[in-house]
Structure 1
Amino acid sequence: MTPKGLIVCLATMVSWAFLIVISKGLLLAYNLDPWIFTIIQLMFGGLFLIAISRKLGATMDALKSPYTWAYGIARVLSAACFTASLLYISAANAGFFGLVSVPFSALVFAVLFFRLPSFLEIPGHIIIILGVVLLISTLEGTYSNPAVYLMVFSEFAVVASVVIAEYHPQNQGDDLQERASLSGVMLVASALIMLISLAGLSLFTDGPATQSTADWISNLPLIDLTQVWSPTMWLAAIAVGITLRGVSMFLSMQAINLVGSQNYVATIAALPFTSLLFELIADKADYLPQAVPNPITILAGVIMTAGSLGILWARQRKFKAAAAFS
């Protein structure tokens, strides 16, 4: 890994951790709806990617592909569920939960594409699962905590987006600007459609509601439709979307381009610990109320991170062995 690659990876990790902590603070301070907040964030983060790539015309044809819409919806849902989970757990815990995507992805690729993990990878997957069980045991309400279901759904959506991106016909090149533009178009289109749908629902549910309508609204998880029209919501989401969400997504692409996906994942495995550090700083600055970290929570995070790094080691060993015999 070159010094430039390492610097970009570290900057990416800091940017994502800062985004998570700032988002949690805004959600709590202004009682923002996490779903609408994230959708607007992603829309303007996507616009940032399009602007910085300067290749909009070359990727507009992507809107004709079902892969584009499927990818965009999966990314929006994964990010929205992740943000919603911050109402129930710390940013560090959410980051640790994110590591469950590693065994999830192995399961999906094994079932759908018959890509079985190597024997050396299996202990790492087991360690991550044990760490998740330990982490859940520290949460209020344990398995009934809404964050558990939100994060599980979020990580399945992440894996789905990875699979879709791998097979997207216009995502097969190595041009960083083209990938940024394509990702931006996919996010903007999907987020815009979802936002328009929520705005329409807010008009439909405006005014006196029948009992059946009231019951239907109560079943919408954590969605306050009136916030679609909130100036505070738009100002906060646009600011975070452009300055943090868009920047973080572009840095991730640049880091993967410079150091490869495996080195990137190994570096970003420290993201939850960076988020924890920022949460403690935010607590000292009275920006974010944060309880003293539970030692068992930290232990669970260390276990999951160790499992993730063990899997990366096993994969690198397999690639080196394959290269030696080729």
Structure 2
Amino acid sequence: MRLVTFTADSTDGSPHRLGAQSDELVVDLASLAARAGVQLPSDLLSFIQAGAWAREAARGLLAGGPAAWPADAVHRSDEVSLRAPLRPGKIIGVGLNYVEHVEESSRSLDTDKERPSRPVLFSKPATAVTGPGQPILHNADLTAQLDWECELAVVIGRTAFRVSEEEAYDHIFGFSIVNDISARDQRRSGQWFFSKGQDSYAPFGPAVVTSDEIPDPMDLDLSLRVNGVTKQKSNTRHMLFPIARLIADISSGVTLEPGDVIATGSPAGVGAGMVPPEFLHPGDTVEATVEGIGTLANPVVDAR
């Protein structure tokens, strides 16, 4: 399933709904369920927390296809506005997780030139999350080095604590995209929280695709464009620490809960690594694409 959070019009005052996207249609799952006498959560976080029964119920409701769906539960994609799929309890970022990014970071960001022996982890607050089409805030009083990073996002589906790599995939609900926005000039004594955690610095979406729809998340093309020009282009197979290792490492000491998100790291091609460096400015548009998930597009706006 391709799950989205949407509003039926473009205003923020419209209630956010859980939908399943199929071709050019978005189906309101709670409305579809109510017509069938079934109760389903109306938001994605609650849906994930509900567990396997909710997924199976939704699949059953969708099985009949558009011909079987009541008209008042179905919207054309161009009639709705997509929002961030959910507000995670935790967003755990992974730094330096692609070989070529290690090299460019050591050259441009003063990080260690040696490959890390364990995953490099940091956090982003939930207040950093913004959705498809929503603005990335550029505050020139805080940064002159606003940068991009296209990343595959792993959405946790079952509580994970001290799980092995062999068990890791059993705890995944699905996959999405995070654009790990960074103010490179706001790193503080090597700490990344303010650099990466400001409001709007975690564009997330446009959908969460359930794990059964992504046969091999370790072989997905990913790319990023700024104003239509490709800046990043790679494949998840080039991760230093694969998804299973990340989940095992993080859960060795931190409980991962349903709805938590792991942003699995950026390939090479960030703005700081360009010669000369390139950074985002108001008026730019950033598009992050991951195979099988879609494209997450966001404008950059002046926040002052």
TM-score range, shorter chain: under 0.3
Greater gyration radius: 1
TM-score in terms of structure 1 length: 0.22
TM-score in terms of structure 2 length: 0.23
Whichever structure has more strand as a proportion of its residues is: 2
Whichever structure has more helix as a proportion of its residues is: 1
